[in-house]
Amino acid sequence: MSDEGWSEGSDEGSDFSPESDYEDASFASKSKFSSSLKGHSLRKKANPQRNDASSSSTPVEAGAPSLMRCRSTHTIQDPAAMRTALLRWYKTVHETRGMPWRRPYDPNLGIEERAQRAYEVWISEIMLQQTQVATVIPYYNRWMEKFPTVRDLAAATIDEVNALWKGLGYYSRASRLLAGAQKALEVYGGKLPDNAKDMEANIPGIGRYSAGAICSIAYGEQVPVLDGNVHRLLSRILALHGPPKSKQTLDVLWTGAKTMVEIDSQSLCRSEDPPPDSDSPQYPGDINQAMIELGSTVCKVREPECGSCPLRAWCSAYRKTTPEDEQATSVVDIEDVCRLCEPLMSSEGVTSYPMKADRKKAREETDVVNVIEWRSRATPSDRRFLLVRRPEGGLLAGLYEFPASVNVSKSMTRASQEKLPASILSKLVHGGSSLTKSQQTRKANTQDEKHEQVLTITKITPVGEVLHVFSHIRKTYKVQWVVLEGGAEPPPPLEGSSLDEERPKKKPKRENAGKGPVNVKNDKRGPKGAVWTPIDQVLEANMGSGVVKVWNLTKELWEKEAR
């Protein structure tokens, strides 16, 4: 489950998710540790039992205790006791938020029943990426009514899936679910793989986090999870202040998460003072869900409720806020100094962890959006608008939008913008290649049959601008209203018509990383390319909120003209 406070910008836009943010980072930031030591005194510790220079250790004065952390704090020291305390707390809160997908683990379920649980957990996990629990619950319930099994989902069209997803945002998640269900049906007979390795490798849109969550919860596999909540929780427990997306930081956190779910028959007896209910069954899925829940509701980004945290006794970040710990760690052995952590120049207490990531500035892009209307001269009330369908993978996958020229120059002139509709229509409709904007006054004989049959752009009116912010792009839509007249019917769309060549090409990414394009099987039942939509049905189409803004702004313009 994703951190409920991560959403950046619009509720739809990028493929940004907890997996893509933390899981696949393959870069490492250069540590500033070496430079942070400059100007701080080191002193040698007397060590009468070891006199050889190679084995002598050098402690560091805590004149700057916030600049260096002990490497030994970055490992889970007592996982058995931590698990017991965590699960005892989870037992009291796991039903609080009324999540329909959250049920106790039953080790007696058969293969089919476990596979069905895996499907239910999969749907909930994908929906919860970047979306709050309260928002997801009604969507989840409607989804399970419409697509109760993997087979039902695999038989759906992208339009049916997007219609059910409408309003939830980040639409690429929906297309990945469809592609994943189709792959599960084709390769695994309608079941998701029962282990995280195969699931991550072979099911589109499932990365390490989702595979771990699904397989631990549904199949009882001892595999870890690391979403935003667990990342923050473990960063504080381990007092880890390293670049949050670097490989070194993620390796430490994944190792800590793995330690927490590695249950063995002896683990319940290792604590010196085991709690009275320590012999209760422990399941990896419960441990993972408990850590997610703790990070989401207690170990929050701001104002963490440390006083009610069941893991407070093992939290290195919390201990560092106590005077006793400051004295105990006033001298740090130089051999135990962590070279992964970046310096803490000023302490904000527990909320100093994890290290704040440098936020990437959203790139600026400008699109010219053409709200193209065809109207009948014989029946003026017959107004239809041209919608085109986006590619099946990537941003706003499979949704409808008004034809646009993307990422144009901000300085494009009005005259240049007015040339775009004819070029676009030449790619989308029959007869579009001969279209130009009418520059002549209509003849007096308006009933001339030949004149009525000529398809003409009679109006191009600037509407205004719409700013729509995605997580990684700030889009400025320059909207113009284009009116076509002529003919008894709107010009038929060209078969297979598309504006895909108008879109900038991106380097394909790994399919199983939870990002990038996915392959949804083509379905002849769904409309392709461009479609003319009656005015009263435009808002019923599967479109993103940015397109709705464009439509509403255009409607305001012609409603003003009609007054």
Query: Based on the domain organization, do 329 and 370 belong to the same domain?
Result: no
Taking each helix axis from N to C end, the angle separating 208-219 and 284-297, rounded to the nearest 10 degrees, works out to: 120
pLDDT value at residue 11: 34
- The mean pLDDT of the chain is 79
Query: Based on the domain organization, do 385 and 467 belong to the same domain?
Result: yes
Band the pLDDT of 83: cuts 50, 70, 90. very high
Query: Based on the domain organization, do 304 and 434 belong to the same domain?
Result: no
pLDDT value at residue 489: 79
- What would the pLDDT profile of 166-207 be if each residue is shown by its tens digit? 989 888 899 999 999 999 999 999 999 999 999 999 999 999
Domain's final residue, options 319, 352, 385: 352
Residue of 413 and 430 predicted with greater confidence: 413
Query: Based on the domain organization, do 370 and 246 belong to the same domain?
Result: no
Burial track 165-177 (b if 16+ CB lie within 10 A, e otherwise): bbebbbbbbbbbb
pLDDT value at residue 279: 55
- What's 261's domain CATH number? 1.10.340.30
Question: Is the backbone peptide bond immediately before 243 cis, with ω within 30 degrees of 0?
Answer: no
* DSSP annotation of 238: T
pLDDT of 121 above 50: yes
- What would the pLDDT profile of 280-331 be if each residue is shown by its tens digit? 789 999 999 999 999 999 999 999 999 999 999 999 999 988 766 555 555 5
- What would the pLDDT profile of 138-148 be if each residue is shown by its tens digit? 999 999 999 99
Whether 125 is a known active-site residue: answer: yes
Q: Which of 12, 19, 120, 125 is catalytic?
A: 125
Residue of 201 and 60 predicted with greater confidence: 201
- Asked, for residue 219, whether it belongs to a domain, the answer is yes
Alpha carbon 72 to its chain centroid, in Å, reads 33
**CA dist., res. 259 & res. 263, Å (int):** 8
- Asked, for residue 13, whether it belongs to a domain, the answer is no
Band the pLDDT of 333: cuts 50, 70, 90. low
- Asked, for residue 450, whether it belongs to a domain, the answer is yes
The four Cα atoms 145, 148, 153, 158 give a dihedral, to 10 degrees, of 10
Q: Which helix (H) or strand (E) covers residue 345, if one does?
A: none
pLDDT value at residue 67: 44
Q: What percent of the chain has pLDDT over 70?
A: 71
Q: Which two tokens stand for residue 155?
A: 């038989």
- Asked, for residue 328, whether it belongs to a domain, the answer is yes
pLDDT value at residue 12: 39
pLDDT value at residue 8: 29
Domain's final residue, options 292, 327, 352: 352
Which residue, 3, 45, 217, is CA-closest to 115? 217
Query: Based on the domain organization, do 331 and 400 belong to the same domain?
Result: no
- Asked, for residue 509, whether it belongs to a domain, the answer is no
Query: Based on the domain organization, do 343 and 382 belong to the same domain?
Result: no
pLDDT value at residue 351: 93
Query: Based on the domain organization, do 151 and 267 belong to the same domain?
Result: yes
- Asked, for residue 385, whether it belongs to a domain, the answer is yes
- What would the pLDDT profile of 209-229 be if each residue is shown by its tens digit? 999 999 999 999 999 999 999
If you average pLDDT over each of 6-10, 52-56, 366-370, which comes out highest? 366-370
Band the pLDDT of 420: cuts 50, 70, 90. very high
Strand partners, 533: 385
Burial track 351-388 (b if 16+ CB lie within 10 A, e otherwise): bbbbbeeeeeebeebbbbbbbbbbbbbeeeeebbbbbb
pLDDT value at residue 432: 62
Domain's final residue, options 352, 379, 400: 352
Query: Based on the domain organization, do 129 and 182 belong to the same domain?
Result: yes
Structural domains counted in the chain: 2
pLDDT of 339 above 80: no
- Asked, for residue 512, whether it belongs to a domain, the answer is no
Query: Based on the domain organization, do 304 and 340 belong to the same domain?
Result: yes
Query: Based on the domain organization, do 333 and 373 belong to the same domain?
Result: no
Query: Based on the domain organization, do 547 and 432 belong to the same domain?
Result: yes
- Asked, for residue 340, whether it belongs to a domain, the answer is yes
Q: For 234-258, what is the mean pLDDT? A: 95
Query: Based on the domain organization, do 317 and 450 belong to the same domain?
Result: no
**CA dist., res. 98 & res. 534, Å (int):** 41
- Domain of 279 in residue numbering reads as 18-25+59-352
Q: For 472-485, what is the mean pLDDT? A: 93
- What's 369's domain CATH number? 3.90.79.10
